[in-house]
Structure 1
Amino acid sequence: MTSIHNNAGAISALQTLRSIGSGMAAAQGQVSSGLRIQTASDNAAYWSISTTMRSDNAAVSAVADALGFAAAKADTAYTGLDAVIDILGEFKAKLVLAKEPGVDKAKVQKELAELQQQVQGISQAASFSGANWLNTDISNIYDFDRNKASSVSAFVRDASGAVAVRAMDLHLSAVSLFNSTGGGLLQTDARDLDTLGGIRGFSSSNLIGGDLTQYDGVYGSGWMYPKAGAGGAAIFGLNDFPDGSSLDFTAPGAQISFDIILDKEASNPGSQAGTSGELQDLPGPYYAGYTKSITITKAQVDAVYPGLGGVITTNTQFAAVLNSVLNTEGASVSASYNHYDPPGSNNLVHDPKRMTISTLQNHGNGSYVEIANLSSVGVGTGGLKESSAFGSRGSGMAIAFKEFIVHEDGDNLDGVEVSFSFSINGQPATSHSFDRTYVNNLFGKDSGKVETPEEMATLLHSLLDAQWPNLIIEAKSPTEVMLKLDPAADRKWGSGTSMSFDNVRVSIEPIPKIQFMDIDIAANPDKIASYINYIDIVTERAIDGMTTLGAFQKRIDMQSAFTSKLMTTIDKGIGRLIDADMNEASTRLKALQTQEQLGIQSLQIANANSENIMALFR
């Protein structure tokens, strides 16, 4: 039905055209932008995700740039360290040359000084954009929280939406050659534990700490400050055998007589020179020793030397005669005398003109030799004298205490570890260890310090008591800690006694103990061998540093490759969410254009009907 009030066909055609126009606008937008979702109104969820991921991808792109910057710094440090290793090799070669007799060490030192300056120059020049990993300024280079060089490696968003920037760390203690506060690869390592409170020996001439040929455990020796060795049997030197004279036993009744007293326990052994008097508390009763009366006549001489005719002309001959009568009684005689001159030094002197008598310790627990009631008839005494000597007791020692610090050790939260074995009187050694955490927990500290003899005694008690319940450990002075077996449990003296700290190991050793820049063979020609050893050690440390850098460079390359792929993958993911299908969009646009044309024609037809109605009123 046709109405003069409403043109239903035109209205319908117009609505269709409007719908087609809206669809065409959307289709044209997709075709022109390539995006299916351009605004939040198109699809709020997808638009939000894609917008966030575009932002994240920009951050990942910044990570790629940061990785390139890190690679440049690592490459610079690697190049510098490689050059330094070459110079260290040349440096060592010149040190070896300087060992040759006749080489002018002053001239060689001039070459070494130039190489030293070259190493320092390389370390200072190995800088990229102000970042220098070979010449550092770190307050504590041994602290991993302070010595790390961080490089951005990743931008991360977790499931909850929280974001974080990840970094990969290079600890500069592994590569720094010179650090302003010390601890660089070519500097002294400030973590040297020295004598470890006295339980290991140390020579100040050492250039490398922890070299087991130079750092040794200490051994008890007669309660003197420890030297290598253990307790020793009682021994004393006789007077010089009369030089140029003889002992003639051919006269009627000629003889030498004396009493030999062996292995008695002394109530006051601390009176012996060199001991510290720590055995004065030995409880009685005291063993009086083994006593034997000895007489030497021509018969004894003839039994040993039938061809001498009873006339002894040398100390060697007299020692042999004495041995023939004393050996079966528990003593031994030597025709020479070895002693330190001056006493307490390391200068061992051999005196072939003197004799010694020592106990074989066949009687009781003591270690003692005494000649008493010495007399002679018709002959001299051949150097014999009335004398006594106490043997040394090795199951005790006084260690010279020096405070020390058990230091931090990079990312090892427990710090440096110290281990050692301990033994008394030849019993099987026990193994013990402690670290920074152990020390701090024991003393309620956070410094790792063992500061007093009392603390050292406490530390040793905590380590040794369980295996050695009869061990007494006491702080005796501000510089001395005494270790000894309880005399109620052990009375033994002499060569059967010993106390030793052995196999001392420190986890960070060997460590350098001098500065590379301080090497001077002209001023210290006697240290060339130690310098060579030092250069070998620091070269190995530098090589380890290059290994660390190489691994870091490899990780940067891998992370850079991953980051590049990640950006591409994120772009693809965003495209899957919001990109338009151009084939579909263009086909839809053509269809809508056709529909638009048909709609216009429909509108024209509808409007034509209205014209016919108007004609009725003319």
Structure 2
Amino acid sequence: MTSILTNTAALSALQTLRALNSRMGETQTQVSSGLRIQTAADNAAYWSISTTMRSDVKAIGAVADALGLGSAKLDTAYFGIQSVSDVLSEFKAKLVAAKEPGVDRTKIQTELEQLKAQIETIASAASFNGVNWLRSDIPDITDSDQSRVTLVSSLSRTAEGISLGTSEFSLSKVALFNSTGGGLLEADARRLKTLGGIRWAQPGMDMHGVYQSYPDNDRIGNTGQFTFTFTGPVTFAAGDTLSFDVTVDADNPADVDAPHNLGKMTSILITRALIDSVLPGANGTISTFQQYADVLNQALSGQNADASARLTYDYYGNVIPNRINLTTRESSGLDGSSIEIGNVVGPAAGLSPTPAQYGPRSSAMTLSFVPFEVFKDGDEPRGVEVDFFFSVNGAPSTHHSFDRQTVNDLLGKTTGKVETDDEMVLLLQSMISADWPDVIIEKTAADTISVRSDKAVDRLGGAKTSIGFIGITVSIEPIAEDNLRDIDIVANPQMLDRNIAYVEVVSSNVIDAAAQLGALKMRVDKQQSFTQTLMDSLDSGIGRLVDVDMNEASVRLKALQTQEQLAIQALQIANSDASNIMQLFR
């Protein structure tokens, strides 16, 4: 119907135009801002997620900045250490050249001084933002609480938000010089001496540049044996014989308690036929001590005496003329180790009755206690570590270790010091007794500790017995005992070999420092790369949630503009109907 009060067509066109204007305003806002979801009213869930993630991206950006700062410090220290390593290589080459006969060591020392100055310059210059890891100022550089350096090295997302991960290391591992000493190119004052007697001597570098570490301190028993002098030559006629009794492996009353096994006795008979079998063509004549040893050995072996005859040797491995050694083989199955000769009848050529000769019982040792300290060791929280193996009588060895924390916990201290023989006994018992319940460890005199198997349980003697600490290692050894600054091949020419060995030790330490910094640098660099990739991924994810598709939005805006024009035209047409009605009243 047509009404002069209500223009339904115009109202409809106007309503359409209003809706189009609203949609077009929304689309224009999206196009201008680039966001599909700009406020919580647009989509509360997506807006909340995107807002949180944007906060995370900012936090990660701060982490990235911290990683960049740490990476810069690492780069500075790493390239400084690497440069010093190169200079040390040249320094060592100069020292080796100084060994050549006729070389002018004064000129070489001048070059060495310049190389020292170059190292000092590198150490001083390797500073970033006032931080220098190669030249430190720490009261005790071996103390982890004082020398610890912390770097941001990772991040993680937890329920509480972004969490930072850090890496720590001690400047004792990288500092070349320290104001109070202890740098890699300075003398290390930490010496664990004989480890309370576990080592038989204090380790150190000798004048030939050889580091004597004394990793083994053990006793190994010898068989019961004796020697006699050959008094030949001697000739056996067709009916001549030599007989004697040999007793082996009797218990030594001085070593074990009664009852004592008297050993195994064998009666030996040497005939002309036996001699001819050993010395064919000799016509029964034993001319030399070597021949006599062969004849005796054949007789002992062939008649199952569990003994043997052999030549004797001096300290340098040379045969001692006319000396023959008789020894038990320890193959009788008895616990003891001894040999006894009796009832000698016939042309003995020096062999005579000999009382039992016992092999020493070597399942006991004496430690000379010297106080020592287990030191701190930079970023190693438990301090210096000592490792060794222990064994008795050839049984499979057991591994044992202790460190500064072990000593402190056991003795109720904070110093890491083992100061008395009683404390040393307690330390050894805490490590060894559980695995070796038959080993007695006790103080026997002032600064004297006995470590031995219980003879009530262990009755072995001779070569079957042994005891000792083997494979002894200390985590900080070998240590640098000198200062690079003090090397002077002109003033101290006798120290040249030691200087070369010292530079070898500190070069190894510098290489280890470079390796530690390099490994940490690699981790930080990878974390930087990951962090940047993560930020890009988060930005992309946020964009997927709230960013507008500009192609779609621009097409939609164009369509809405077209619809708006049509709506305006429709409104104009609707309003024109009212004008036609007004013509009726003219």
Structure 1 residues 213 and 7: alpha-carbon distance in aligned structure 2, compared to 1, 3 A threshold: same
Structure 1 residues 232 and 66: alpha-carbon distance in aligned structure 2, compared to 1, 3 A threshold: same
Are 2:195 and 1:196 aligned? yes
User: 1:551-610: per-residue Cα shift (whole Å, max 9, x none)?
Assistant: 344334433333333333223222211221222212222222222223323333443444
User: 1:235-289: per-residue Cα shift (whole Å, max 9, x none)?
Assistant: 9xxxxxxxxxxxxxxxxxxxxxxxxxxxxx999x9xxxxxxxxx9xx98999xxx
For residue 528 of structure 2, what is the aligned residue in structure 1? 560
Distance 1:586 1:169 in 2: 54
Aligned residue among 601, 607, 615 for 2:569 = 601
Q: Could you tell me how far 1:60 is from its partner in structure 2?
A: 3.4
Distance 2:504 2:23 in 1: 81
For residue 187 of structure 1, what is the aligned residue in structure 2? 186
Are 2:43 and 1:76 aligned? no
Distance 1:42 1:60 in 2: 27
Aligned residue among 498, 518, 542 for 1:574 = 542
- 145-154 or 586-595, which deviates more: 145-154
Aligned residue among 406, 426, 433 for 2:400 = 433
Q: Map of 1:500-511 to 2, 5 A cutoff? A: 500-511=468-479
User: 1:60-117: per-residue Cα shift (whole Å, max 9, x none)?
Assistant: 3444444443333333223222221122122222322344466666665454344333
How many residue pairs get aligned? The number is 491
Q: Map of 1:29-48 to 2, 5 A cutoff? A: 29-48=29-48
Report the aligned-residue RMSD. 5.0
For residue 342 of structure 1, what is the aligned residue in structure 2? none
Q: Could you tell me how far 1:481 is from its partner in structure 2?
A: 2.6
Q: Map of 1:365-380 to 2, 5 A cutoff? A: none
User: 1:467-505: per-residue Cα shift (whole Å, max 9, x none)?
Assistant: 655544323566333345557678999999765433322
Distance 1:469 1:54 in 2: 66
Structure 1 residues 611 and 494: alpha-carbon distance in aligned structure 2, compared to 1, 3 A threshold: closer
Gaps spanning 5+ residues in structure 2: where?
A: 227-250, 261-313, 316-324, 330-334, 339-357
Q: Is the 8 A contact 1:186 1:515 kept in 2?
A: yes
Structure 1 residues 183 and 569: alpha-carbon distance in aligned structure 2, compared to 1, 3 A threshold: same
Q: Could you tell me how far 1:196 is from its partner in structure 2?
A: 0.9
Structure 1 residues 552 and 518: alpha-carbon distance in aligned structure 2, compared to 1, 3 A threshold: same
Q: Map of 1:184-263 to 2, 5 A cutoff? A: 184-189=183-188, 191-203=190-202, 206=205, 213-218=212-217
For residue 175 of structure 1, what is the aligned residue in structure 2? 174
User: 1:174-194: per-residue Cα shift (whole Å, max 9, x none)?
Assistant: 433224455433234455422
Q: Could you tell me how far 1:200 is from its partner in structure 2?
A: 0.5
Distance 1:163 1:283 in 2: 73
Q: Is the 8 A contact 1:200 1:218 kept in 2?
A: yes
Classify the secondary structure of the residue corresponding to 1:562.
Answer: helix
Distance 1:233 1:114 in 2: 64
Classify the secondary structure of the residue corresponding to 1:503.
Answer: strand
Aligned residue among 345, 369, 374 for 1:401 = 369
Distance 1:585 1:207 in 2: 84
For residue 157 of structure 1, what is the aligned residue in structure 2? 157
For residue 589 of structure 1, what is the aligned residue in structure 2? 557
Letter in 1 for 2:161: A
For residue 506 of structure 2, what is the aligned residue in structure 1? 538
Q: Using structure 2 for the length normalisation, give the TM-score.
A: 0.67
For residue 495 of structure 2, what is the aligned residue in structure 1? 527
For residue 298 of structure 2, what is the aligned residue in structure 1? none
For residue 26 of structure 2, what is the aligned residue in structure 1? 26
Structure 1 residues 132 and 230: alpha-carbon distance in aligned structure 2, compared to 1, 3 A threshold: farther
Classify the secondary structure of the residue corresponding to 2:398.
Answer: strand
Aligned residue among 422, 427, 430 for 1:459 = 427
Distance 2:72 2:200 in 1: 47
Classify the secondary structure of the residue corresponding to 1:511.
Answer: coil
Structure 1 residues 470 and 71: alpha-carbon distance in aligned structure 2, compared to 1, 3 A threshold: closer
Q: Is the 8 A contact 1:207 1:531 kept in 2?
A: no
Distance 1:569 1:8 in 2: 54
User: 1:439-486: per-residue Cα shift (whole Å, max 9, x none)?
Assistant: 455445565443321121112223333565554432356633334555
Q: Is the 8 A contact 2:224 2:337 kept in 1?
A: no
Letter in 1 for 2:442: E
Letter in 2 for 1:454: D
Classify the secondary structure of the residue corresponding to 2:205.
Answer: coil
Classify the secondary structure of the residue corresponding to 1:603.
Answer: helix
Classify the secondary structure of the residue corresponding to 1:475.
Answer: strand
For residue 244 of structure 1, what is the aligned residue in structure 2? none
Classify the secondary structure of the residue corresponding to 2:450.
Answer: strand
Q: Map of 1:407-486 to 2, 5 A cutoff? A: 407=375, 416-422=384-390, 427-428=394-395, 430-436=397-403, 438-444=406-412, 448-466=416-434, 468-476=436-444, 479-484=447-452
- 540-549 or 61-70, which deviates more: 61-70
Distance 2:101 2:174 in 1: 36
Q: Map of 1:265-276 to 2, 5 A cutoff? A: none
Structure 1 residues 95 and 21: alpha-carbon distance in aligned structure 2, compared to 1, 3 A threshold: same
Distance 1:14 1:411 in 2: 79
Q: Map of 1:306-345 to 2, 5 A cutoff? A: none
For residue 296 of structure 2, what is the aligned residue in structure 1? none
Q: Could you tell me how far 1:199 is from its partner in structure 2?
A: 1.0
Q: Could you tell me how far 1:404 is from its partner in structure 2?
A: 3.1
Distance 1:187 1:94 in 2: 20
Letter in 2 for 1:430: S
Letter in 1 for 2:54: R
Gaps spanning 5+ residues in structure 1: where?
A: 221-228, 236-264, 270-278, 287-336, 339-357, 368-389
Q: Is the 8 A contact 2:223 2:328 kept in 1?
A: no
Structure 1 residues 430 and 54: alpha-carbon distance in aligned structure 2, compared to 1, 3 A threshold: closer
For residue 343 of structure 1, what is the aligned residue in structure 2? none
Q: Is the 8 A contact 1:421 1:429 kept in 2?
A: no
Distance 1:125 1:491 in 2: 68
User: 1:365-410: per-residue Cα shift (whole Å, max 9, x none)?
Assistant: 999xxxxxxxxxxxxxxxxxxxxxx999865544232333445667
- 413-422 or 81-90, which deviates more: 413-422
Q: Is the 8 A contact 2:422 2:443 kept in 1?
A: yes
Structure 1 residues 537 and 52: alpha-carbon distance in aligned structure 2, compared to 1, 3 A threshold: same
Classify the secondary structure of the residue corresponding to 1:46.
Answer: helix
Letter in 1 for 2:369: F
Letter in 2 for 1:453: D
Structure 1 residues 563 and 215: alpha-carbon distance in aligned structure 2, compared to 1, 3 A threshold: same
Classify the secondary structure of the residue corresponding to 1:512.
Answer: coil
